[in-house]
Amino acid sequence: MCGPRVFPICRILICRILFCLAVALTAMPESTAQQPAAHGHWAIMLHGGAGVIERATMKPETEAAYRASLKQALEAGAAVLDRGGSSLDAVEAAIRILEDDPLFNAGRGAVFAADGSNQLDAAIMDGATLRAGAVADVTRTRHPISLARAVMEKSPHVFLVGKGADAFSVYAGLEQVDPSFFFTERRWQSLIKQLKQEGLPIPPRPAGAPAAPQVPIAEIEPAEAHKFGTVGVVALDRNGNIAAGTSTGGTQAKRWGRVGDSPVIGAGTYASNQSCAVSATGVGEYFIRLTVAREVCALVQYKGLKLQQAADEVIHKELAALHGDGGVIAITPDGQMAWSFNTPGMYRARLAEGGKIEIGIYNDEP
């Protein structure tokens, strides 16, 4: 049919047909075209801070309150994932609950800086796109984690601090509260105690705080238990995307605009679908120096370590070598989950789709 003279025309025709076939194949619906399979199962983990948290000194009702709070936040995040929501949405939803809970050092219930103010830090990161948002030293946003997300989604920046971040929060339409919203008597008395011990000046009771009680409130647990108390969440959604978020009041009696690791991308918070998502808690200065969150993910990505091995390597070897204290929670796109800490306790909880909720506080629990 194709003689020597018409051969080039045949060739052009064949090429055209092949080209059309290729175009048709790429335009086919996802279900029939070759697409990477989504992991399909969701999972979520959270922490509520690590520190000197010991069974011997914990009252049963306090312990029960912590366990109930961790469960409530975990279930809120899990519900988002179970209805097909994104890992970012789950991280934000769970952290917002912990920020409203005065038990934790984030949002309401945050520790006080030495000047008597609450200075809040938060960060969020999307493992699918490597987009991230972070804020430090904010004073009026009810949910700093949502402000971090707004920085990621509504600004061209990654990290905003202080007055500028407070102003951006108003601009982005986030809920504003009077700084006294974050006040808790327990944290205030804990600050006064520390300032007295360190011989530092005692700031006036914050404006708008409730009147001082006639008798000091009973310590519901040892002050040391609250040295940390940051909250963090990592999640994996049904599309195989992971995300991480962290929110904190930082360290008690901090001065001079001190910012810890929590809002520093790569230190206290990190997520990449290439490796893992991590949220850390502990003495931020060490976590910043080691870029702990990124370090865990680097061991997974470049050394091929299993997630638990990587987390243990960083916490029990690298952090320990610097005499730093704290821990991490971490998750991978293929559903590995790990927590690791070198303190007597870390408030923590996790759930994988179809599994059972695990909640732990002390280091002798699984």
Shortest distance in whole angstroms from residue 122 CB to ligand ASP = 11
Q: Say if residues 229 and 104 touch (Cβ distance below 8 Å).
A: yes
What is the smallest separation between the CB atom of 128 and ligand ASP, expressed in angstroms?
A: 25
Of 269 and 332, which CB lies nearer to ligand ASP in the complex structure?
269
Apex 279 CA angle, 276 and 285, nearest 5: 120
For the bound state, the minimum distance from the C-beta of residue 353 to ligand ASP, rounded and expressed in Å, comes to 28
Is 168 or 287 the residue whose CB approaches ligand ASP more closely? 287
Owner of token pair 């010991």: 54
Shortest Å distance, C-beta 320 to ligand ASP: 16
CB contact at 8 A, 288 and 264? yes
On the CB side of 304, CA atoms within 13 Å amount to 0
Residues in contact with ligand ASP by CB under 6 A are 49, 105, 228-230, 248, 250-251, 260-262, 268, 281-284
**CA nearest neighbour of 347 among 110, 67, 91:** 67
Q: Quick one: 127 or 249, whose CB is closer to ligand ASP?
A: 249
Query: Which C-beta is closer to ligand ASP: that of 169 or that of 343?
Result: 343
Shortest distance, position 162 Cβ to ligand ASP, whole Å: 16
- Comparing CB distances to ligand ASP, the nearer of 248 and 340 is 248
Strands (E), the chain: 43-51, 120-126, 131-138, 159-161, 231-236, 242-248, 269-271, 277-282, 326-331, 337-341, 345-352, 358-362
Instruction: Tell me how far apart the alpha carbons of residues 104 and 226 are, in angstroms, rounded to a whole number.
Output: 8
Phi first, then psi: give them for residue 166, nearest 5 degrees: -60, -40
Judged by CB, which is closer to ligand ASP: 41, or 193? 193
Residue 194 class from Cβ within 10 Å (0-12 exposed, 13-18 middle, 19+ buried)? middle
Rounded to 10°, the helix 60-82/87-100 angle is: 150
Is 230 an active-site residue?
yes
Q: Looking at 139, 141, 184, 230, which residue is catalytic?
A: 230
- In the bound complex, what is the minimum distance in angstroms from residue 258's beta carbon to ligand ASP? 8
∠ CA 231-233-238, rounded to 5°: 165
Number of continuous H segments (helices) and E segments (strands) in the chain: 10, 12
CA 106 to chain centre: 11
Active-site residues, by number, are 230
